[in-house]
Copies of this chain bind each other. A is one copy, B any other.
Amino acid sequence: MTDGASLRPLEIAVAEPERQDAFLRFIGRIHTPWPERRDCPNRGNAEDGPPCRIELFPPWDRALEGVEGLEWLQVLYWMHLSRRDLVLQNPRFSDQLVGTFAIRSPVRPNPIALSDVRLLEVKGRELVVRGLDCVAGTPLLDIKPVTARER
């Protein structure tokens, strides 16, 4: 993935607008076995992937009430290592460019990712889940229940 400073052939970066329209609070931190981006799987596996820990920062741990009864959760996190200025990307180092909104690359104007995970255990202000694919230390943005209609 195009995470670093360098562009792949033909890729188009835009001048990033100065605006900061809203702010996010990191409400926790995700602990995975992958210390670097290059170690991460392409996609989490909620059946066979390794257990990962989601740590909630106070006071947001109080909002976990009722989560322990759920099997599936949707985890939103912030891809803090990703650049944000590419509009056309070259995901396969080919001569084919594709628009950022037509691919699920981490490089996006607002690098928010989401994964559906299976909840294994709630331990105080930590969740143990299966199905993540992000780098160790990734900032947590939100946790939502997955409704039947969404699976």
Contacts and interface: CB of A to CB of B under 8 A. Distances in A.
A104 interface: yes
A63 to B, nearest CB: 4
A94 interface: no
B102 A88 contact: no
Interface stretch (A1-9, A19-27, A30-38): A19-27
Nearest to A88: B65
Interface of A: 12, 14-17, 19-27, 59-60, 62-67, 69-70, 73, 76, 78, 80, 84, 86-88, 97-104, 108-110, 112, 114, 116, 139, 141-145, 147, 150
Q: Across chains A and B, which 6 residue pairs bring their CB atoms closest together, nearest first?
A: A65-B99, A66-B102, A63-B100, A20-B23, A63-B87, A62-B87
Residue among A67, A102, A104, A145 with most chain B CB within 10 A? A102
A73 B26 CA distance: 26
Residue among A65, A80, A104 with most chain B CB within 10 A? A65
Interface of A is mostly: mixed
A78 B20 CA distance: 13
Contacts of A139: 21-22
Contacts of A69: 102
B25 A23 contact: no
Contacts of A108: 142
